[in-house]
Each structure stands twice: as C-alpha cells, then as structure tokens.
Amino acid sequence: MSGYTLTSRDDDPTQTVRTIGRIAQMLIELRDEYANRPREDTLQQIERRLSELIELRTELQHKMAKQAERS
C-alpha cells in the first residue's frame, strides 16, 4: 500500500458499517447466552444493542445521503 492511505472522513460510511457488524456479532453472542441461560440482564443488554443499531441506521442513512449529494 505504498503511497496510499485510507481517508477518514466524517461522512464516510465505512466505520459505521464496521460498527454495525460488531454490534450484530454481539447480538448473536447475547442470543446464545440467553438461550443457554435466560436472564433479565441479558435481555436488557440485547435491548441496548438494538437501540444502538437503530441509531447507527440513522447515521448510515445520513452518510449515504451525503454521498449521493456528491455524486
């Protein structure tokens, strides 16, 4: 990658997409944890992660709109 660096722009959706993937993986792990040992605190964690995904969806939509404006 000589001479090439990835740009880090606020409206670049790459980081948002990566964060969505990490939270999705956490949800899978929480699902397995809850299936093996149902607990209220695990359900609360699932709810928090889902809320984060909703926020990230809005962020991603905003970034996609910014990219469309530049196209």
Instruction: Please give the chain's pLDDT, 71 residues, in tens.
Output: 444 444 456 788 999 999 999 999 999 999 999 999 999 999 999 999 999 999 999 999 999 999 999 88
> 36: buried, middle or exposed (CB in 10 Å: 19+, 13-18, 0-12)?
exposed
| Structural domain containing residue 55 | 14-70
Is residue 19 a part of any domain in this protein? yes
Is residue 57 a part of any domain in this protein? yes
Structure tokens at 28: 């899978």
Is residue 63 a part of any domain in this protein? yes
DSSP category for residue 37: S
Q: How many domains does the chain have?
A: 1
Is residue 5 a part of any domain in this protein? no
Is residue 1 a part of any domain in this protein? no
Is residue 22 a part of any domain in this protein? yes
Is residue 50 a part of any domain in this protein? yes
